[in-house]
Amino acid sequence: PDCLLLQILSYLGACDRLLKQGYEEGQVEEAMEMFQYSEKKAAEFLHLLAQFNDMGFQQNEIKEVLLLCGNQREKALEELVMK
C-alpha cells in the first residue's frame, strides 16, 4: 500500500510540473499514460507536440509520428513533411 501511495504522489507531482509548463490537463494525462508515467518522456512528447502543432501539422498525425519515432525530433519532422 505504501508503494502505491508513493506512485500516486509521484504521478501527481509529475502532472503538476507539466501543467505548470502550460500544457493542457488532458494532454498531460494522455502523455503520462502513453509513456508508462515517465515524466521525462511525457515532457519530451508534449514539447514536440506543441512545436509541430505551431508549425501547422495536425495533432493526430503528430501523435502518431512521435510514437512511431520514439520522440526523435528530426525523424518525426521528416515523417510529417512526407505525409
Residues 38-74 have pLDDT tens digits of: 999 999 999 999 999 999 999 999 999 999 999 999 9
Confidence of residue 37 (pLDDT cuts 50, 70, 90): very high
pTM of the model: 0.90
**How does 29-53 read in b/e, with b if 16+ C-beta sit within 10 Å?**
ebbbeebeeebebbbbbbebbbebe
Residues 66 and 48: beta-carbon distance below 8 Å: yes
| Count: domains in the chain | 1
The alpha carbon of residue 46 and the mean position of all alpha carbons in its chain are separated, in whole angstroms, by: 4
The CATH number given to whatever domain includes residue 7 is 1.20.120.1920
The helix, strand and coil proportions of the chain, stated in percent and rounded to the nearest 5, come to 80, 0, 20
Domain span holding position 40: 1-82
CA distance from start to end of the chain: 47
